[in-house]
Amino acid sequence: MMPTDQLAHTYSIVARDADSGQLGVAVQSHYFSVGSVVTWAEAGVGAVATQAFSDPAYGKLGLDLMRARKSAPDTLAGLLAADPMKEVRQVAMVDALGRVAAHTGSTTIPEAGHIVGDGFSVQANMMLKNTVWPAMAAAYRSAKGELVDRFLAALDAAEAEGGDIRGRQSAAILIVEAKSTGRPWIDTIFDLRVDDAAEPLVEVRRLVAVRRAYIHMRLGNEAAQRGDLDATVREFTDAERLIGDNPEMRYWHAIALLQLGKIDAGLAILREVGHRDRNWIELTLRLPALLLIGDASLKDRVRKLLE
């Protein structure tokens, strides 16, 4: 065993969404911080899950080779040919064209196996039952919604079949765009990890909702910048619905309305947020002129909210 090998016994899914072209991988395991080992993806390139006696080199080299236009099947075949420990590995890959390959070594701890489908692969090892990965495949095929929703359905299906024989500990979801802009921080849609939790799938689902809230908030700010009031209100309303009690989205909704000249509406929301915590009002007074229009009379009205 190489020093980099880690015992990431787990269940996972890699996939390319046929509609959006998004690429990703999702995983759950009774293993600390499984996402730091198993999940690899790059926009416009592919996604990799490396697990069982996991060698992270399959992630790094797999993406390198697929970036060089090798297919996922050719990439995996080449890496396995060079690995003297391939029989303890479990690896799956999908490339930007939706070509898929998977490998379950002959000495991977049972129950273990994989299913390769149209644009996806599900794989699992050290499972309670051999029904785990078939249930994942069925759930992914039948699920509706975005790629992240179908990933969540697959993970839930695995757990419903008993999942990891040791129980639950950590989970992760990594999803990237179909095409690369050269800026990974923009190309990454979801990069969520639950490193240690009693119910990691419950927590990762909550984090998906939080991440979606921040995506809607970004879209709301972009709409405000181009002067589109209807889109601003729509996006911020969606963000607030997803975020729950966190006042962040509600606050920036208020600021966006002030920027758009909807002063009374913006101040009404700001008053509501400030009623819960006056620090939000103080923050508003400290905002640069660019964000608060630099209107002295408006700042006076904001100050009155502190009275």
Q: Are residues 192 and 279 in the same domain?
A: no
Q: Are residues 140 and 243 in the same domain?
A: no
Residue where a domain terminates, one of 163, 198, 233:
198
**pLDDT tens-digit map of 199-220:** 999 999 999 999 999 999 999 9
Q: Are residues 89 and 175 in the same domain?
A: yes
**pLDDT tens-digit map of 15-40:** 999 999 999 999 999 889 888 899 99
CATH number, position 98: 3.60.20.10
Q: Are residues 157 and 238 in the same domain?
A: no
Stated as kind and residue range, the H or E segment containing 253 is: helix 248-259
pLDDT higher than threshold 60 for residue 262: yes
Q: Are residues 164 and 76 in the same domain?
A: yes
Q: Are residues 59 and 132 in the same domain?
A: yes
Contact 253, 231 (CB under 8 A): no
The whole-angstrom separation of Cα 226 and Cα 216 is 15
Q: Are residues 157 and 256 in the same domain?
A: no
Q: How confident is the model at residue 9, as a pLDDT?
A: 73
* Residue 60, domain member (yes or no): yes
* Residue 277, domain member (yes or no): yes
Residue where a domain terminates, one of 175, 198, 221:
198
Q: Are residues 227 and 299 in the same domain?
A: yes
Judging by beta carbons within 10 Å of its beta carbon (0-12, 13-18, 19+), is residue 182 exposed, middle or buried? exposed
* Residue 207, domain member (yes or no): no
Q: What is the DSSP letter of 2?
A: -
* Residue 203, domain member (yes or no): no
The whole-angstrom separation of Cα 294 and Cα 176 is 38
Q: Are residues 83 and 136 in the same domain?
A: yes
Residues 6 or more apart in contact with residue 7 via CB below 8 angstroms: 31, 53, 54
* Residue 208, domain member (yes or no): no
> What total of structural domains would you count in the chain?
2
* Residue 186, domain member (yes or no): yes
* Residue 1, domain member (yes or no): no
* Residue 143, domain member (yes or no): yes
The whole-angstrom separation of Cα 102 and Cα 79 is 12
Q: Are residues 259 and 167 in the same domain?
A: no
Q: Are residues 129 and 217 in the same domain?
A: no
- HSE-up of 76 (CA within 13 Å, CB side)? 22
The predicted model scores a pTM of 0.91
The whole-angstrom separation of Cα 89 and Cα 5 is 10
Q: Which domain holds residue 222?
A: 213-304
SS3 16: strand
Q: Which of 25-34, 56-65, 286-295 has the lowest mean pLDDT?
A: 286-295
**pLDDT tens-digit map of 121-180:** 999 999 999 999 999 999 999 999 999 999 999 999 999 998 888 988 999 999 999 999
Residue where a domain terminates, one of 171, 198, 225:
198
Q: Are residues 194 and 247 in the same domain?
A: no
